Amino acid sequence: MTSYLPSLLVPDTALSVAGLTAYIQALIEQDVQLRQVWVTGEVSSASRYRSGLFFTLQDPDAKAAISCVVWNSYLEKLATQPVAGEQLIILGRIHVHPQRGQYQLIVWQALPAGEGLRALRYRQLRHRLEAEGLFDPARKRPLPVHPKTVAVVTSPQAAAWGDIQRTLRRRYPGLHVLFSPALVQGDQAPVAIVNAIQRVERDGRSDVLILSRGGGAVEDMACFNDERVVRAIADCSIPVIAGIGHQRDETLADLAADVCAHTPTAAAEQAVPRLADLSAAHQERVLALQETMNYYLEASQEHLQRLRIRLRKLQLDRKIQQEAQMLAWMRKRLIQGSALQIQQASQHCQLLKQKLETLDPRAVLKRGYAVVRQMDGAITRSTEGLVPGQDLQIQLGQGQLNVKITEVLNTPSEG
């Protein structure tokens, strides 16, 4: 039998399976781009084992797939857990298994992609701003009851602007409306909204501000979840009403505003009272005031009638006569008491007068006695110390004498 196979020469440099796999592993694992790589795809299957979570990530058209593993040490750190059907953005590194000749992605982090990523960013920003207190109910300011000027921030082409104008005219005619136009959709919208709010503040005339736009897709509302817009609302010096989208929509701007009305028409209704309601309330107050006045008037008339009846029962003339008699009796007692006190005082004065007359030295002199004084006024009571030729004064009952001693006669002392 003749063989037609060509003769093959085996080179000395032929690689073993392990060598080839090691070479491929070195190329892949030492590549800088593959040591930390972001991969996006859809989770097609996921299984949990003791060592970690194993799942497959594939393109939506299922034309390519890669095996992934999250070790237990990283599983709790994932922002979202891989679940079949979820769109994810994966961060990890490429690893080659020599025994199986396969490569897989060692996952460090998993983030939601598409709508999931937007929701994650929304939650993270909401939690951060909430922690700062920007959504605290204590920051909410009351709306003015009767605003003179209302500012509106929205797009001039938006249907919301027309809805707000019609609502304000219908509810509160004569109101001054200040329009500050802004983009309310697209990448430039956040800066435009912030500038529009700042224009209103610089103007200084507005009592309340309405930030509004109509409904739309979730991505159309993205500008109202922008941190710059939320902070501009929180820092605004006047109360802000958010009327954004429909009832089902909720943005961070709604949370930061002083009042959230959800729709442009509802925001305008919150900004001003209805003139018909004010008129009805005024009429109610007028009626209540009239009823109150009538009540107090009737009560006063009843009280006056009761006083009249009491006066008739008291027989006022007889009461006055009794009081007059009492006054006359008290006057008589006062006069009698005063006369008695005057009489007693007069008698006491007379007694004191008699005592004074008894003690008066002039009365003694009138009975024939005399007072002898030396020339210096000292009274002389004995002859002791007197000498002939000494001058003396003698005070009589009537008159006075000046004498000179011619002789001193000593009277024998009493034994």
Region 17-113: CATH code: 2.40.50.140
- Sheet with strand 391-395: strands edge to edge: 371-374, 391-395, 400-404
> Whole-model pTM?
0.50
Q: Which helix (H) or strand (E) holds 171?
A: helix 159-171
pLDDT digits (tens, 9 = 90+) for 374-389: 888 788 878 777 888 8
And the tokens for 333? 């007692």
Q: Note the pLDDT of residue 413.
A: 54
Region 122-273: CATH code: 3.40.50.261
Question: 307: pLDDT confidence band, cut at 50, 70 and 90?
Answer: confident
Question: 391: pLDDT confidence band, cut at 50, 70 and 90?
Answer: confident
Q: Which helix (H) or strand (E) holds 244?
A: strand 240-244
Q: Note the pLDDT of residue 221.
A: 83
Q: What share of the chain is helix, strand, coil (3-state, %, to 5)?
A: 45, 20, 35
Contact yes or no for 68/90 (Cβ under 8 A)? yes
- State the average pLDDT over residues 102-126: 82
Calpha distance 358→218 (Å, rounded):
130
- State the average pLDDT over residues 283-301: 90
Question: 2: pLDDT confidence band, cut at 50, 70 and 90?
Answer: very low
Question: 415: pLDDT confidence band, cut at 50, 70 and 90?
Answer: very low
Domain boundaries, the chain: 17-113, 122-273, 278-341, 366-404
Higher pLDDT, 229 or 307: 229
Helix runs in 204-250, H state only: 227-235
Q: Note the pLDDT of residue 136.
A: 94
Q: Note the pLDDT of residue 406.
A: 85
Our measurement of the distance from residue 124's CA atom to the centroid of its chain's CA atoms, rounded to an integer in Å, reads 29
Calpha distance 67→193 (Å, rounded):
46
Q: Note the pLDDT of residue 78.
A: 92
Question: 100: pLDDT confidence band, cut at 50, 70 and 90?
Answer: confident
Q: How far apart are the first and last CA of the chain?
A: 210
Q: Note the pLDDT of residue 311.
A: 76
pLDDT beyond 70 at 20 = yes
Q: State how far the alpha carbon of 305 is from the alpha carbons of 36, 293, 310, 315, 320, in Å.
A: 100, 18, 9, 16, 22
pLDDT digits (tens, 9 = 90+) for 196-246: 999 999 999 999 999 999 877 776 788 999 999 999 999 999 999 999 976
Name the residue type at position 190. Answer: P
And the tokens for 99? 């025994």
The reply to whether domains 17-113 and 122-273 share a CATH topology is: no
Q: Note the pLDDT of residue 331.
A: 92
- State the average pLDDT over residues 317-322: 79
pLDDT digits (tens, 9 = 90+) for 240-266: 999 997 656 688 999 999 999 988 999
Higher pLDDT, 173 or 275: 173
Calpha distance 249→254 (Å, rounded):
9
Partners of 39 in the beta sheet? 90
3-state SS track over 383-394: CCCCCCCCEEEE
Q: State how far the alpha carbon of 114 is from the alpha carbons of 67, 89, 151, in Å.
A: 21, 9, 36
Average per-residue pLDDT for the chain: 86
pLDDT digits (tens, 9 = 90+) for 116-175: 556 677 888 999 999 999 999 999 999 998 999 999 999 999 889 999 999 999 999 889
Partners of 260 in the beta sheet? 242
And the tokens for 109? 């982090």
Q: Note the pLDDT of residue 58.
A: 86
Q: Note the pLDDT of residue 399.
A: 81
pLDDT beyond 50 at 3 = no
- State the average pLDDT over residues 73-78: 92
